[in-house]
Amino acid sequence: MRDVLATSGAPLLGAYVVPEAGDRESAAGAAAAVRAAGADLIVTATSGPEHSRYTSTNQSIDLAAACQKHTGGPALATVTTWSRTVMALQAHLLGGHARGVTRLVCGNGSAPGSGDRAQADGRWAVDAVGLIELLRGLNEGVDRYGLRLDTPTHFDIGVRLRAVPTLTAADRGRIRSRIGAGAHFVVTSPVYTRRALDALLDLVDGAVPVLATVHPLRSLAEARQLRSELPAGCVPDDLVNRLERAGDGAAEEGGRIAVELAACLAESTRGIILSRADRPEFVAGVRAVLPRPVAG
């Protein structure tokens, strides 16, 4: 990821690839389509970023390997610690590294939906800070148990952070601890207004690059649901009102809002990550409004 950032003279554009019913081949095909539409990179997960849901680390790594093979471009695998022992995490990470999956986005994750036995049996053996420290150690040639690796890894360590209008003292402490543990870059939760990103940008203060996630709202009902779930101010009233006025055209209006927001956020971040790769034409629309590299 650091190599991608270093060679880009303009904000990056990425898109999440989330397989339907575990269909890895179709997801890899979607990745190729959005790459052709202008995306610089792919982020893999097994659930969309608009909700904090369970993501299978090993499936995300497998999908990233498939996307890189299919597209020839970089893929970032979402890695979460829910219901994973440190030994299992380390095995997944080293296995992914051997397959060329070296760009990661770390998070705690959350339990899968009700009815999945893993919800009852799962737990956090290590949190996101511990995961970042594990990766940093592997990059230094030492595993979790202090054993030397034959060859140090070269992971690019990203961390998912919430973008909210007001950060509590606890929020600030978590952000500082995750960056201090060794994160190289930040991928935010979905941002629906510039104001929700300002506090995070002020706290990070340029210490690491920040990529902002943008989710095009698909309906008025979705906007209202997210407004009720997220902290106050994350989904502003004027956005909800625009979707309400759009009526049956709410999905199209949600896309227009997302394009406008992406152009705005690109001015203060290192790039935009779109929440879905299922609409290449939308990716192309966002690409068209982002700044272009300045010719040398």
Tell me the mean pLDDT per 10 residues along the chain, length 296.
72 91 83 94 86 74 94 94 83 96 89 47 72 96 93 97 95 96 96 96 96 96 95 95 96 96 96 90 94 62
Element (H, E) at 141: none
3-state SS of the chain: helix, strand, coil percent to 5?
45, 15, 40
**Pick from 132, 113, 110, 134: which is nearest to 123 by CA?**
110
Exposure string for 141-164, b = 16+ CB within 10 A, e = fewer = eebeeeeeeeeebebbbbbbbbbb
Report pLDDT for 121: 46
3-state secondary structure of 50: coil
pTM over 0.85: yes
Report the alpha-carbon distance of residue 136 to residue 42 in Å, rounded. Answer: 23
Report pLDDT for 86: 87
Report pLDDT for 115: 46
Q: What domains can be seen in the chain, in order of their start residue?
A: 2-217+269-289 (3.20.20.220)
210 residue type, one letter: V
Q: Which residues contact 23 (CB under 8 A, 6 or more apart)?
A: none
* Neighbour-count burial of 224, counting CB atoms closer than 10 A to its CB (0-12 exposed, 13-18 middle, 19+ buried): middle
Check: CB of residue 214 under 8 Å from CB of residue 187. no
Report pLDDT for 112: 55
Report pLDDT for 116: 44
